[in-house]
Amino acid sequence: MAIFFFFFFSILALFASPTVLASPSSPDLVSSSCQHATFPKVCLHTLSLYGGKVTTPRELAQAAIKVSISRASKASDYLSSLQKEANKRERGAVKDCAGQMSESVEELRKTLGELKELRRGTFRWQMSNAETWVSAALTNEDTCLDGFKEIDGRVRSDVKRKVTNVAKVTSNALYLINRLDHP
């Protein structure tokens, strides 16, 4: 009888695993994975281009990090160019924000590198690193916006729109990373 329960619960655990639920045999990995993301519509929109190219949750998490890196890099470039046209009051906030976005890009690049090298023996450590770095990127993005609380106008609204977009894709990437199981 004990053997029956062992096999029953082993099979149950296997089917409850997030990796199995979103396995390569799943008809639409992107759609099933994005369904419960923090920002499901953003997740689906930004990752749908990868639909036929990714076959595992790990590849999807890597794709999400690549999207986040791309968006953060573009926001960082935008902020760097914005420093030239911003007034004196805005310039300090823009400069600080550009630095924060640049740090986010670095944190996300480290995360991508870690996800590409996941190993069974060091999986928990690597996942802890990846989660910490993506969380740090989110904190940088949030801190970036803090500098604009006392500033009104177009610069503030443009920066807020761009940085909020980066934060949404980064948050979704963190969600997908958190769903990963051992390699």
Instruction: Give 41-97 pLDDT, tens digit per residue.
Output: 999 999 998 878 899 999 999 999 999 999 999 999 999 999 888 898 899 999 999
Number of domains in the chain: 1
Token pair of 46 as six digits: 């930004």
Is 183 in a helix, a strand, or coil? coil
Token pair of 43 as six digits: 């997740």
Residue 158 lies in domain: 2-178
- Residue 52 has a pLDDT of 82
**Residue 181, Cα to own-chain centre: how many angstroms?**
17
Amino acid (one-letter) located at 52: G
Q: Is residue 183 part of a domain?
A: no
Q: Is residue 126 part of a domain?
A: yes
Q: Is residue 109 part of a domain?
A: yes
- Residue 15 has a pLDDT of 36
With a cut of 70, say whether residue 117 has pLDDT above it. yes
- Residue 172 has a pLDDT of 98
Q: Is residue 43 part of a domain?
A: yes
Q: What angle do helix axes 57-85 and 88-116 make, rounded to 10 degrees?
A: 160
- CATH of residue 123's domain is 1.20.140.40
Task: Name the helix (H) or strand (E) containing 175.
Answer: helix 154-178
Q: Is residue 107 part of a domain?
A: yes
Q: Is residue 27 part of a domain?
A: yes
Please tell me whether the overall predicted TM-score, pTM, comes out greater than 0.85 for this model. Answer: no
Q: What is the mean pLDDT of the chain?
A: 86
